[in-house]
Structure 1
C-alpha cells in the first residue's frame, strides 16, 4: 500500500481565454479544467474564476468530465478563465504483466473501440498493429509495445502541430505534441481490439521537483486501455502515470475534452492564450 509520505501535493493554475477584434455582445462557454477525484489522485480544493464576471454551473458530461458552463452577456473584447486547484497525487501503480488472453469481451467499452477523426489509421499503421499483435501472447504486452512504438517513431516537438491535428498528420511527419502521440496510441490500441481512452490533464515537467518552486507546467495528454482493468500510460514520456500527472478529463479524443470552448456573437477571435503554472507543495 502506498503511504501518504509517498504522495505529492500539487497546486495548479491554468489560465486560458480568447481575445477578439472588437466587442463581443454575448458568449456561451464550457471549461473542462476541473481535476477529478480518482483512484490515483484526490482534489483537495478547486475553483474557476471568469472575467468578465459570470455565473457558473457545473455538471458531468457523458464521459464523466466535470464541465463548468457559463454565459457572458456584457460587452467584452477579452474572455479569461482561471482554474486553480490543489491535488494530492500518488506514485505510479503496478503495470499489469500478462493479464487477460486475447478474445475477452469488450462490449461494455464499445464506444472506446471506434476510430474517430483524430485517431483514424491508414493501411500502413493497420499493418503495423497486426504485426505487433502477432508478436505478443496477451493484450497488455501488445499495448505496451504500441506505446513504445509510438514514442520511438514520432518525436515530441513542441509547436509541431495545432489542436486540429490528427494521428495521421503526426505519423506522416514523424513529429507532434503530446496530443498527437496520444491520438496515435489510442488509434493503434483500438486497432489491437483494446478499448482506449484519451486523457487530458497536466504534467509537472520536473521529475525531481523542488518543494515550493513554481514552474511553467503543461497541459498534457496520455492514454488508458482496458485489458482486465484500466491501465494508464504516458506515451510521450514513456512512463506510467504518477506523481507528476493531474487528471482532468477522459474521452475518445481531444474533441471530447477541450479545456475551453464556446460560441459567441461578435467579431472574429484574434487568438487564444494559455498559461499553466504548477507548484509542488509537498
Structure 2
C-alpha cells in the first residue's frame, strides 16, 4: 500500500505601502493543482481588504484567483489555505526511454526555448553539450544536469531576488531554489529536452510529525519530458514526492508568481511571506 501524506498549507503574503492606495488589480497563483500524484481536498483564498474574487485557469494550466480592491488601503494581504493529499515519488524512471534522435512533441515546443531567466552564456552551453555527450540517454543526461547544478551552486536564502536569473546565480555560484531551477531548466533545454519550471510548496522534514505545524517554504523544482513528464528537485537532490505540493508550471518564474498586480498610490515598502505546513497524516 502506498503511504500518502495529507498536508495543510497556509500561505500568507501581501504588500505594505508608504501611504493610502486608492485601487489595486491583482492575480494570485496560490491554489494547488489536482494531478496524478496529488489531490486537492480543500482550498480557499481570502483577501484583506475584502474583495470579490473569481478563479480561472491561465494559459499554462495554473489556477488564478483574480481580484480588484477599490477601497482605500495601506496594506494588502492574501491568505491561501489548502489541504492536499500527496504521493511518494513514482515517476523518476521513464515509461519508455527516448533517444536523442526522437523529436519532442510540438505540444512542448514552448518548453524548449530559452527565456530571460533561463538563458545561458557560452560556458554553460559548452557544459550542457559535455553533459549530454557523456550520458547514455536523455533521462540520464537530465539527472546529470541536476547533479551538476546542485554541486556547483550553493543554496543560500536571500542570495538573490525574484528578478534574478540563471546567469546571476551561476556567476556568483549561489542562489535560491528559483535560481537553481532556472539554471537546470536552461541546461536541459540547451540539450533539446523540453523542460518546465514548477512552483509550489515543500515540507522541510522527511520525517514530519503528524499534527505539528512548521515553517514551510514556497519552493521551485523542474520537470523534463522523456516520454512523460519527470519531476525532480535539484535544490535538494531528490525526486519530487510526498513533501512537495504543486501549484503551477510554466517556462520560468514569470509565468507562475504567487502574487502580482498593479495599483494606484505610493511605493510599496515591502512584501511579507509566511508559509505554514502541517502534516495531518
* TM-score bracket relative to the smaller structure: over 0.9
Q: Choose the corresponding residue for 2:89, options 68, 87, 92.
A: 92
Q: Paired residue for 1:217?
A: 216
Q: Paired residue for 1:172?
A: 171
Q: Paired residue for 2:136?
A: 137
Q: Paired residue for 1:58?
A: 55
Q: Paired residue for 1:47?
A: 44
Q: Paired residue for 1:28?
A: 25
Residue 137 of structure 1 deviates from its aligned partner by: 2.1
Secondary structure of the equivalent of 1:74? coil
Q: Paired residue for 1:68?
A: 65
Secondary structure of the equivalent of 2:149? helix
- C-alpha contact 2:91 2:231 (8 A) present in aligned 1: no
Q: Deviations over 1:147-169 (max 9, x none)?
A: 00000100000110000000000
Secondary structure of the equivalent of 1:43? strand
In structure 2, what is the Cα distance between the partners aligned to 1:203 and 1:137? 31
How do residues 170-249 of structure 1 correspond to structure 2 at under 5 angstroms? 170-249=169-248
Please tell me the root mean square deviation across aligned C-alpha atoms, in Å: 0.9
Q: Choose the corresponding residue for 1:9, options 1, 6, 9.
A: 6
Secondary structure of the equivalent of 1:142? helix
Q: Paired residue for 1:124?
A: 123
In structure 2, what is the Cα distance between the partners aligned to 1:75 and 1:45? 31
Q: Deviations over 1:25-69 (max 9, x none)?
A: 000000000000011100000000000000000000000000000
Secondary structure of the equivalent of 1:102? coil
Residue 108 of structure 1 deviates from its aligned partner by: 2.2
In structure 1, what is the Cα distance between the partners aligned to 2:102 and 2:227? 8
Q: Paired residue for 1:160?
A: 159
Residue 96 of structure 1 deviates from its aligned partner by: 1.9
**Alignment TM-score, normalising by the size of structure 2:** 0.98
Residue 94 of structure 1 deviates from its aligned partner by: 3.9
In structure 1, what is the Cα distance between the partners aligned to 2:13 and 2:107? 35
Structure 1 runs of 4+ with >3 Å offset: none
Secondary structure of the equivalent of 1:11? strand
Residue 104 of structure 1 deviates from its aligned partner by: 1.2
Q: Paired residue for 2:100?
A: 102
How do residues 240-279 of structure 1 correspond to structure 2 at under 5 angstroms? 240-279=239-278
Q: Choose the corresponding residue for 1:80, options 63, 77, 81.
A: 77
Q: Number of aligned pairs?
A: 279
Secondary structure of the equivalent of 2:140? helix
* Structure 1 unmatched runs, 5+: none
Secondary structure of the equivalent of 1:190? helix
